[in-house]
Amino acid sequence: MGVERVEVIAPKTEGTIPDEFIRSENEQPGITTVRGKVLEVPTIDFSDPDERKLIRQIAEASSNWGMYQIVNHDIPSEAIRNLQAVGKEFFELPQEEKEAYAKPLDSDSIEGYGTKLFKEVSEGNVTKKGWVDHMFNKIWPPSVINYQFWPKNPPSYREANEEYAKHMHKVVEKLFRLLSLGLGLQGQELKKASGGDDLIYLLKINYYPPCPRPDLALGVVAHTDMSIVTILVPNDVQGLQACRDGRWYNVKYIPNALVIHIGDQMEIMSNGKYKAVLHRTTVNKDKTRISWPVFLEPPADHVIGPLPQLVNQENPPKYKTKTYGEYVYCKLNKIPQ
């Protein structure tokens, strides 16, 4: 099998976890989480008819928080429920069925069922790991979809994902327009700079099995997303944390809201006006947490840099211009950008 899945390890643990999942003390959520306070990130009514107010709210939240929740976004709750149901069903299949969709070890593509993602830090002789398994599928545009990695069981997996992608379109179009206007740009500028109609929707399912020592482990370690924007829905198990003023807080999730993360590419294009959010994921002792982020990404050969309209003598470029593929390679391999 190559890599032992966290799903396989979890049932074998009795009150303890293997050393490779124990984070250093400056990362352990039991030590580093602010207790007794839940972070209420901005909540934005996406249906507000006052567009100027909406532009201001989106721009302020993207600049000051990098994370917010949008409600009344017009994605039917049934479409979200179906997406979540088929993802959960896939991860509950027998292990050998899931392995049929495993990402090949020699593959350059991220798609498929897997465990390892980031190049993890080694401490002594132990390479640290996150308490999570995952599934990646490109769900838009049709030209990049690779159905080889789309599970055939449950049978409604494809239908549920395609339906969700269809509804996601309208949210993405509106969000990019509002983000553009919030920077003083024309409404279509950010979408165009992100790859236009070639913008890729990369769905990831994060599956975090119950963990006997959630105080010591992390599902996903502290990071900013490489994407332009990430749009996420979780199940009802708390686990998302954001860093605010150097401290870690649990984020209060509103049912049926979409959680928006500003990603690295949006920070670069806005020349630092919009901020990528530093976040991480904790795990639960008794319950399985699952989340469904959609990463909005440019094609690998698309060049991203600070937009010329946002750069001048008083505000020089703060970031290098490079292809998205080059950026991803550097970040995954921890090479300075």
Task: Just list the catalytic residues.
Answer: 204, 223, 225, 279
Largest CA distance in the chain: 61
* CA pseudo-torsion sign 167, 173, 174, 179: positive
- CA-closest candidate to residue 56, choices 74, 39, 42, 41: 42
Residue with tokens 């963990």: 211
Who contacts 17 (Cβ-Cβ below 8 Å, separation ≥6)? Answer: 131, 211, 212, 213, 216, 217
| Burial label, 78 (beta-carbon count in 10 A; 0-12, 13-18, 19+) | exposed
In order of 135, 169, 223, 231, 308, the CA distances from 215 in angstroms are 25, 38, 19, 27, 46
In order of 111, 149, 298, the CA distances from 146 in angstroms are 8, 6, 17
Query: 3-class SS at 237?
Result: coil
| Burial label, 281 (beta-carbon count in 10 A; 0-12, 13-18, 19+) | buried
Q: What token pair was written down for 108?
A: 């350059």
d(CA 18, CA 260): 33
Pairing of strands 289-297, 229-234: antiparallel
Q: Are 175 and 188 in contact (CB under 8 A)?
A: no
d(CA 114, CA 6): 10
